[in-house]
Amino acid sequence: MQYIDNILFVAVLTAGIWFFAKNIKKLIRNIKLGKSIDRTDNKSERWKNMAKIALGQGKMTRRPVSGILHIIVYAGFLIINIEVLEIIIDGIFGTHRAFSGMGAFYGFLIGTFEILAFLVFVSVIIFWIRRNVIKIKRFLSEEMKGWPKSDGNWILYFEMILMSLFLIMNATDVPFQEMNNGNIISQYLAPIFSGLGETTLHVVERGAWWLHIVGILIFLNYLYYSKHLHILLAFPNTFFANLKPKGAFKNDENVTKEVMMMMDPSADPYAMPEEGAEEEVSTFGAKDVTDLSWVNLLNAYTCTECGRCTSNCPANLTGKKLSPRKIMMDTRDRIEEVGKNIDANGGEFIDDGKNLFDWISKEEIWACTSCNACVETCPVNIDPLEIIMDMRRYLVMEESAAPAELNNMMQNVENNGAPWPYNQMDRLNWVNE
């Protein structure tokens, strides 16, 4: 009978890890639906980016209030969960505070954890007030209604409960309180439970202990369905981010081949493919998520839904429909639908008659000024513009569906060598004026 708790703990822990691994496997599968792209160049710069932006939160503090609060929650939550290692050891082997033999250093660690837990709790309350009482504008956009709003609040409740359980667990642990070493915050909560008997205190402590570890496992598996997946994905996303100057747009390989062939006087544009060689079918741009690169899909899953991109977008600020945040959220929703289609059809995608344009309208795509403000401001180096440009390329080169103004401009460039409808011989007439 004495091993029932240990067996139950191992079963719960195994189930939590199994479901988490299953979600991660599905996540990797979905990201790999994107086209191959090489982002392994300049590894030293990539490691530097990851350390500075993902780990060091380098771009978060551009907005000091939310930035500092986020650093407290992010760092605090990660550091506090170091204690999960002790909980796992205690749960498996039936020990109690396995690391307490470390003496004063153990007290220092737990004391630090308690201070951070308190700061996280306060920060989360401020975040909740900003979202639901002050109602900051960037959290009120159309795409933030329904599940995105609920998700933002649920994660805050999760964090408040987990921090509370950690402090209650310490406050009702009589041997720990008697140590008087590390109970910096919990000592002020202990009097609340002073009227309880020793047995009841033990039950409360064990209850908080179990709820804390089960809550962490639930939180871990909830991440896949939440915008807080960026807790895990911010690191690879910043590592694989585009290092080229933001004004440098990628050339389509098929177009490049055509141009190179036109510039080669020895090339025969009408030559037939060699016998036995597969003729390459050229497609341009992105119609659906599988036409995007795997980095674009990683970006979509990494989106924090913070809205900094949208609040800095000049098109959005002038009242146009475009929201870079919505672009990323819609892309992620479409990936998820494609993934569910694959799961439902034995690992094979069956055409559902839909594509990315069912989520993202042409009006949104053409509203973009390609200024890169969204890319510059994103705290985890997401690039909505690359998705927008690929979708534009599809509209122009596959459907000839560019706006009339753009078609006129391109026709003028072709006929007159300039975007204006003037004869080339008349282009310098303005000098005479």
pLDDT of residue 271: 66
State pLDDT tens for residues 15-51: 999 999 999 999 999 999 999 999 999 999 999 999 9
- Evaluate if residue 281 carries a pLDDT over 70: no
- Evaluate if residue 215 carries a pLDDT over 90: yes
C-alpha atoms less than 13 angstroms from C-alpha of 422 in its C-beta half-sphere: 10
- Evaluate if residue 264 carries a pLDDT over 90: no
Q: What are phi and psi of 293, to 5 degrees?
A: -80, 160
pLDDT of residue 33: 96
- Evaluate if residue 135 carries a pLDDT over 70: yes
For the record, the structure tokens of 197 come out as 């008997």
- Evaluate if residue 274 carries a pLDDT over 70: no
pLDDT of residue 427: 74
Domain with CATH 1.20.950 in the chain: 4-29+63-234
- Evaluate if residue 345 carries a pLDDT over 70: yes
Mean pLDDT of all residues in 144-162: 93
Which residues on adjacent β-strands are paired with residue 293? 35
Band of the pLDDT at 302, cuts 50, 70, 90? Answer: very high
pLDDT of residue 12: 95
Please tell me the class of the 4-29+63-234 domain.
mainly alpha
Residue partners of 248: CB distance under 8 A and separation at least 6: none
Band of the pLDDT at 163, cuts 50, 70, 90? Answer: very high
Which residues on adjacent β-strands are paired with residue 35? 293
For the record, the structure tokens of 293 come out as 């690169």
Mean pLDDT of all residues in 238-246: 93
Band of the pLDDT at 276, cuts 50, 70, 90? Answer: low
Q: What are phi and psi of 220, to 5 degrees?
A: -60, -40
| Whole-number Å distance between alpha carbons of 224 and 336 | 11
pLDDT of residue 261: 81
Comparing 276 with 199, the larger pLDDT belongs to 199
State pLDDT tens for residues 356-369: 999 999 999 999 99
pLDDT of residue 225: 93
- Evaluate if residue 272 carries a pLDDT over 90: no
Comparing 216 with 181, the larger pLDDT belongs to 216
Cα dihedral: 321, 324, 325, 330 (round 10) = 80
Comparing 406 with 387, the larger pLDDT belongs to 387
Mean pLDDT of all residues in 226-252: 91
pLDDT of residue 282: 64
Mean pLDDT of all residues in 400-417: 84
Comparing 230 with 273, the larger pLDDT belongs to 230
State pLDDT tens for residues 368-383: 999 999 999 999 999 9
Q: Cβ atoms within 10 A of the Cβ of 195, count?
A: 8
Band of the pLDDT at 394, cuts 50, 70, 90? Answer: very high
C-alpha atoms less than 13 angstroms from C-alpha of 31 in its C-beta half-sphere: 19
pLDDT of residue 296: 97
pLDDT of residue 2: 60
Band of the pLDDT at 257, cuts 50, 70, 90? Answer: confident
Mean pLDDT of all residues in 172-183: 86
Question: Mean of the per-residue pLDDT values for the chain?
Answer: 90
- Evaluate if residue 188 carries a pLDDT over 90: yes
pLDDT of residue 273: 60
Mean pLDDT of all residues in 186-214: 92
pLDDT of residue 44: 96
Percent of the chain with pLDDT over 90: 67
State pLDDT tens for residues 78-112: 888 788 899 999 999 989 888 888 888 989 999 99
Mean pLDDT of all residues in 271-276: 61
pLDDT of residue 431: 84
| Whole-number Å distance between alpha carbons of 191 and 182 | 16
Which of these ranges, 60-64, 206-210, 256-260, 305-309, has the smallest mean pLDDT? 256-260
Whole-angstrom CA distances from 371 to 100, 248, 324, 360 are 56, 11, 12, 19
